[in-house]
Structure 1
């Protein structure tokens, strides 16, 4: 069937592109012909030795095609019908065991028996494919955006957290990405924490029995690349780094697979002595079109306990603030994406079983606050974050940007109830809440659809794509239809 379909496609294209029999009949433009080819190729499966293929966006929206392959050499990419060789980003390797967030007995060397390849996609690319399977290319303007976060299956001994990774109802990330792909976004933003399978599943636990663990390719594939495939195939991604991708955790895979920058010595998280380099990176901007842009901020190594002058993170995040402010001058409306919510509200229980509030990240509040008491540059109107395992929206009566939290796409949810009345809660010093909405205990994704120069219609979807809440964001203020989604 595949052969007959391709033959039919070739015949169709020959009939479209041959010289016209009548002077009034116009040839199909080459760019549109390439788009037809890409659309047909998108249904084609990846070649057997290609384990994942996707497109990441980096500085100024520069697009990079990535392929993870079991082959001995990188494949050739087709860009608008032209062959483009891919280069090696990371060669196969097994990295020696290093100190991690877990004890030595619950850690192991990270095995990456795969080749990571990449090639830049020139601005204006109409179609790209590898082995006949299409890759998504950037749209001229991002009008439809999917936001997901905190997506992996949590296996963490220190927290006695053993999520049933074998049960798609209790680890529904694949269903979430399939529903998000059906929404047909122009762009996907992942707000961090891709990898959660850190420690071995306890013997006798059927829910996670047989799951890979540690920080090598096998855990990365099951936690992220395999369940995310449907969404990786339909739109380019902006990858935001979370604390689970810090050097003491899954940072090795972060640098091999997801970060948009070119590899640099000392930034691979392989050696503990390089962590002061590998745990930080500069912010960058991705244009969204229409005088709007996305600012991407790496906060992987911040601490909820706080940072003080003299700490490496304190100085690095002050520097990141200043660079973010400079980037924000390039557009009238700025959406900032980072993992740790600066203005979020979480809850947990202490050892005595008493519930307590977890307010916005103290490390970022202290380091950013040393530059600006309002914590963020004036041109930042809204934030996208994760880290709290729920969906949440917070807008303010004070001059603070709206905070959205979208950490509800796969990992164990935060289910300790939020306070009924949050009006008097200050998630950051001086931040007075004006509007609040939340959904706890449900898995899903968030969407943003452009409604004007500084306006977006926001929707909260469950794992099947059903809309559970709607919001409207205008400038730095947002309001939602439902305060608490049940």
Structure 2
């Protein structure tokens, strides 16, 4: 049994061309050292066991020059420019189109411990062995979805504020960025006459990826390496092709690239991996893109795939005393809709609860102290007296927000999973921002909830598996 947790301190329009992005993406670097690839976006993703992968997306015909600690390194082609054949998607055929990626994607592994790296004179962020400050954001794209008649006003920075959030997170100067999934939301064409999203790119090609992620996130991509968690919007029948080309740190393999629906069983699932944080702590990155809140029947492909994920997760968790799990879907989170004046509760993801729970009824490995997720478009914290890890939800960084206020205390019918007992619960509904994690001890973290401008809205403390926040309901 862990000791009681003390209270925390009190408050103290776009095209395929990259040229319009240069001032944002390079942030003035080219003014002092002209690059031979001025139309380039460069960033770093973190993969298995903390391996750092430098990525470049460029309109040039060849990969640029990369140096690490002054030593030249060759970049390899990850993906050639291509327009991919139309595949079945989550939309009707008349609301879909082939995914065009007219740019070259290049990559190279950075040497472990590199102190500096650059591509054609543009500095790349290099990983720290023991990052102390981690910026967390999620659910960042601008929703354009005909099926739900849901069209966010992408042209209004007040209503689609991801660029503001990303700039504030970059100004916080993180050592590492964690995105908990759902980068891409521009699935269908903006309706004619809708000024709020008029002119927006749509579909699953580069132009929509650029508008939803790379352009607004430019300063944050420059600020620190990213741990990219896959969301359901990056499943194969949605933006999975771009996920594998642009963000996943592992090799891009034929049959795992989401190009052909017949291979989706390979493309929709991938093994968990660990990212060391130093000090006997690590992140566990878990791909839950294809889970279902409706749950599985025993023997279903997803059920067996996630049972296998759990076993591998358990093995990875033994590598460190302190583990923070990263999933897009919150296994222990809570949301709600109001129907006829009553709450209709959205509890923790049932597909994960069933598959993980069939291996371990407590749902998660014993050494996992906290889970950090997205999917629900809000910020949330839950701590449990039942020995379950704390759950944080940070799906509040750009996509249209959930607006149903949750009660200060959850009623019994709203508990996220069988066998849990909620001890502390905190929420922020209908507000955009990001979350900061700062390590203060072996199993201790300070959590800060920031609004879109970087102003503090809440503070929390994590100690072991338990957490508590200053404010139960952020206004």
Q: Same fold (TM over 0.5)?
A: yes
Aligned to 1:364: 352
**CA deviation vs aligned residue, 1:373-426 (integer Å, no higher than 9, x gap):** 110011111000000000000001101000000000000000022234315331
Partner of residue 281, structure 1: 270
Deviation of 1:185 (Å):
0.5
Q: Residues 43, 123 of structure 1: CA spacing in aligned structure 2 closer, same or farther, 3 A cutoff?
A: farther
User: In 1, distance between residues paired with 2:90 and 2:336?
Assistant: 23
For 2:221 and 2:135, the matched residues in 1 are separated by 12
Q: How does 1:172-187 map to 2 (within 5 A)?
A: 172-187=161-176
- 1:63-82 alignment, distance < 5 Å: 63-82=52-71
> Is 1:142 the equivalent of 2:131?
yes
Q: State whether residues 308 and 366 of structure 1, in contact with CA within 8 Å, keep that contact through their aligned partners in structure 2.
A: no
Q: 1:465 aligns with which of 447, 454, 465?
A: 454
Q: Which has the larger radius of gyration?
A: 1
| Matches for 1:301-316 after TM superposition, within 5 Å | 301-316=290-305
Secondary structure of 1:233's counterpart equals helix
CA distance, structure 2, for counterparts of residue 347 and residue 217 of structure 1: 34
* CA 1:356–1:296: 2 relative to 1, 3 Å: same
Helix, strand or coil at the partner of 1:159: coil
8 Å CA contact 1:152, 1:194 repeated in 2: yes
Q: CA RMSD in A?
A: 1.3
Could you tell me which of 29, 35, 38 is aligned with 1:44? 29
SS state at 1:357 partner: strand
Q: TM-score by structure 1 length?
A: 0.90
Query: Can you list the C-alpha shifts for 1:35-67, whole angstroms capped at 9, x where unaligned?
Result: xxxxxx985149454331100000000000000
In the aligned structure 2, how far is the partner of 1:448 from the partner of 1:163? Answer: 29
Q: What corresponds to 1:382 in structure 2?
A: 370
Partner of 2:51: 62
Name the counterpart of 1:417: 405
Q: Is 1:101–2:86 an aligned residue pair?
A: no
Structure 2 length as normaliser, TM-score? 0.92
Residue of structure 2 equivalent to 1:445: 434
SS at match of 1:373: coil
In the alignment, what sits opposite 2:235? 246
Query: Whose RCO is larger (CA < 8 A, sep 6+)?
Result: 2
Following superposition, the deviation at residue 83 of structure 1 comes to: 1.5
Aligned to 1:3: none
Structure 1 residue 353, shift from structure 2 partner:
7.4
Q: Does 1:155 align with 2:144?
A: yes
Aligned to 1:229: 218
Cα contact 2:394–2:434 (8 A) shared by 1:
yes
1:345 is matched with which residue?
A: 334
Unaligned runs of 5+ residues in structure 1 are 1-40
Matched residue of 1:158: which SS? coil
**CA displacement at 1:78 relative to structure 2:** 1.4
Task: Show the counterpart of 1:213.
Answer: 202
3-state SS of 2:359 partner: coil
1:271 equivalent to 2:256? Answer no
- Structure 1 window deviating more from structure 2 (421-430 vs 444-453): it is 421-430
Q: Is the CA contact (8 Å cut-off) linking 1:42 and 1:135 kept in structure 2?
A: no
Partner Cα distance (2:96, 2:341) in 1: 30
What is residue 4 of structure 2 aligned with on the other side? none
Q: Give the deviation of 1:130 after TM superposition.
A: 1.0
Q: Deviations over 1:294-324 (max 9, x none)?
A: 0000000000000121110000000000000
Aligned: 1:189 with 2:178? yes
- In the alignment, is the contact (CA less than 8 A) between 1:335 and 1:381 conserved in 2? yes
Note if 1:408 corresponds to 2:393.
Answer: no
Q: Deviation digits for residues 83-134 of structure 1, max 9, x if unmatched?
A: 2111000100000111101111110000000000000001010111112110
Matched pairs, number: 445
* CA–CA distance in structure 1, aligned partners of residues 138 and 440 of structure 2: 24
Secondary structure in structure 2 of the residue aligned to 1:166: coil
Aligned equivalent of 1:85, options 74, 78, 82: 74
8 Å contact from structure 2 (residues 409, 425) kept in 1: no
| Change in 2 beyond 3 A, CA 1:395/1:423 | farther
